[in-house]
Structure 1
Amino acid sequence: MESIEQMADRIKLLGDKTRLTMLILLKEKEWCVCDLVDLLDVSQPGISQHLRKLKSQGIVSEARRGQWVHYSLNVEDKPYLKAVLDQMPDYEAVMSSLGKKEPSSQC
């Protein structure tokens, strides 16, 4: 069982708009950093920093494929985070709000 402190630290990460948007996108599929940079108009170091924080709390997982790293959502064992994300706008709504189409993956 997680401590309240661990839960609070993980929930705090959802308070950032960029990280929350990333998590909503990750509900749909896994993404590489380059695609998230294109979608969110955030620098590569900025996206990597957000992903590092999410990974350190076990909210996202990474998988290497050649030179690329793909990230996926990892909240099945964190029902309180899953419940929050289930209440967020869906993938299509987020993509529409970003004014973007799904990028043709570079990786």
Structure 2
Amino acid sequence: MNNHIVEIDHAAPLLKLLGDKTRLTMIKILDSHDCCVCEFVEIFQMSQPAISQHLRKLKDVGVVKETRRGQWIFYALNKENNLYPFVKDLLQHLPNQDNKLKELEEQGLRISCE
């Protein structure tokens, strides 16, 4: 059996979550960069609670994980999750979103909390 087979019972809720344009864009950004909530607030021009809600839903299915760095919480794709290969396959068909982070950098809003 191929370990990249995802049961329909697991795929359907994930695809429903990723059917939201904001969450799908978040996942694509997280594919190449860890991000802080405040960066997503700037990128999407949404409130912090709205962004946190999107991230919580992605975290609940295990696709996204959080890491604390000092006072900041960073979000990243959870590459250990069994749904990750499925998500990775989907993401390779989407356009790169690095321009959104580049715009933040140019505006001096990209967080660097290292």
Both proteins in one fold, TM over 0.5: yes
Q: TM-score, normalised by structure 2?
A: 0.79
Q: Distance in 2 between matches of 1:106 and 1:87?
A: 29
**Percent same amino acid among aligned pairs?**
46
Of the three residues 48, 54, 58, the one matched with 2:52 is 48
Report the number of matched residues: 104
Question: Which amino acid letter does the alignment assign opposite residue 34 of structure 2?
Answer: E
Structure 2 runs not aligned, ≥5 long: none
Q: Secondary structure at the match of 1:89?
A: coil
Q: Distance in 2 between matches of 1:66 and 1:104?
A: 16
* Deviation readout 1:55-99 (Å, 9 max, x if unpaired): 000010100112211000125632222111110001235x29xx9
Q: TM-score, normalised by structure 1?
A: 0.83
Give the direction of change, closer, same or farther, for the CA distance of 1:7–1:75 in structure 2 (3 Å limit): farther
Q: Distance in 1 between matches of 2:75 and 2:13?
A: 20
Is the radius of gyration larger for structure 1 or structure 2?
A: 2
Asked if residue 100 in structure 1 is aligned to residue 103 in structure 2, the reply is: yes
Equivalent residues in 2 for 1:6-85 (5 A)? 6-75=10-79, 77-78=82-83, 79-85=85-91
Give the CA RMSD over aligned residues.
2.3
Structure 1 runs not aligned, ≥5 long: none
